[in-house]
Amino acid sequence: MTNINEIISIIVPAYNSENTIETCIKSIINQNFKNFELIIVNDASRDNTEKICQEYALQDSRIKIINHDKNMGVSAARNTGLDVATGDFIGFVDADDHINPDMYEILHNNLIKTNSDISVCEISNSENNLFNSNKIKVFNSKICMKYLFSGKLLSLYTVNKLYKKELFNNLRFPVGKIFEDTILTPQIFHQAKKVVYTPAKLYNYVSNPNSITHNVFGINQQKDIIDSGEFILNFAKRYYPEYIKEAEYRYFWSYIHVFDNIIFSNAYKHNSNYNEMKSKIKHNILKIILNKNFSLKRKISIILGLVSEKIYRKILLCRR
């Protein structure tokens, strides 16, 4: 039974988000579930983000604004939000995105009626079709890890989920890294006894051409992605050895993802990681081909990438 006094702490990290933050805020304050606090962490924005947020805070007492003196990144901003959150549950929304009016109502209801620790919905751009049913599914922690590692059904994103606050008691996002969700999410799910999932697409992802994932990565960012893949593989080896194949998918994907990103650069052959990524993929091509988590199309395109970078680049451009 739902406790009317339960509060959801919704954390929004914002940096130079003046073009999207208003839509994001409106989608949150118009939630059917009214008992929440909205914690916006302004990560030293240089545009009108803070001004817009303050205008809404004056109109709605549920909104709290925290300002960073210097830009510290998404992980640090989320951690700041976690440190001051007073709710019973935690949710995350990115400033570029917006959510359906019933998202937190559905996630909360599902979590309560199934006595789960995490409640999950789908993201608008998801192509998950593992179950041909609109009914909710309840999983134990172990099977959840299989779905997380394989990328099927459960994504590593933080934003499309509602968590019991105690799951974060001893965990925080890794500061200074990109793909921070990839490292934290498995640790969060590892602590959960039960997870409930709905295939309803309630979180609306908005592609931002200025985000780091749409530009050529620097050397340190490439390393972060590889590190995240290695973290998942080592995590599986330690706690879930039965799901090594699924974890290997994430591990190989990290190298392929960096290789793809390098190929987008006109000077890709001069990138210091280019030969290393290509060599790693080539050395493991048989494992990649035999891994059931890669689609046939993806396997063919990877093979073509090892044969001809020009053809592979055209394939990637078409996919974008």
**Mean pLDDT, the chain, integer:** 91
Of the residues 182, 204, 226, which one is the last residue of a structural domain?
204
At 212 the pLDDT is 46
Whether 182 and 241 map to the same domain: the answer is: no
Checking if the pLDDT of 291 tops 70, the result is yes
Same domain assignment for residues 223 and 291: yes
- DSSP for 50-107 reads HHHHHHHHHH-TTEEEEE-SS---HHHHHHHHHHH--SSEEEE--TT-EE-TTHHHHH
- Which is more confidently placed, 176 or 255? 255
Nearest to 123 by CA among 148, 100, 90: 100
Judge contact between 4 and 109, C-beta under 8 A.
Answer: no
Q: What's the average model confidence in pLDDT over 115-127?
A: 90
Report the pLDDT averaged over residues 267-280. Answer: 84
CATH number of residue 44's parent domain: 3.90.550.10
Q: Is 173 within 8 Å of 79 (Cβ atoms)?
A: yes
In a domain, residue 84? The reply is yes
In this structure, the answer to whether residues 187 and 73 fall within a common structural domain is yes
Binning pLDDT at 50, 70 and 90, where does residue 3 land? low
What's the pLDDT tens digit per position in 220-231?
889 999 999 999
Domain that holds residue 283: 216-319
Token readout for 153 is 């059904």
- The mean pLDDT of 19-34, rounded to a whole number, is 98
Are residues 165 and 46 located together in one domain of the fold?
yes
Flag whether 50 is in a domain: yes
Contact yes or no for 155/125 (Cβ under 8 A): no
Q: What is the pLDDT of residue 114?
A: 97
Residue 174 belongs to a domain:
yes
Residues 198 and 232 in one domain: no
CA 276 to chain centre: 26
Q: Minimum mean pLDDT among 12-26, 177-191, 205-219, 280-294: which range?
A: 205-219
Residues 257 and 191 in one domain: no
Percent of the chain topping pLDDT 90 = 76
How many distinct helices (H) and strands (E) make up the chain? 12, 9
| Domain final position from 160, 176, 204 | 204
Same domain, 165 and 135: yes
Rounded mean pLDDT of 266-278?
A: 81
What pLDDT, on the 0 to 100 scale, is given for residue 127?
A: 62
In angstroms, rounded to a whole number, what is the distance separating the alpha carbons of residues 173 and 171?
Answer: 7
User: What is the DSSP secondary structure assignment for residue 173, as one 8-state letter?
Assistant: P
Which comes out higher in pLDDT, residue 262 or 66? 66
The number of distinct structural domains making up the chain is: 2
Ranked by mean pLDDT, which of 131-145, 281-295, 305-319 comes out on top? 281-295
Residue range 141-148: mean pLDDT, rounded: 93
Tell me if 210 is assigned to some domain: no
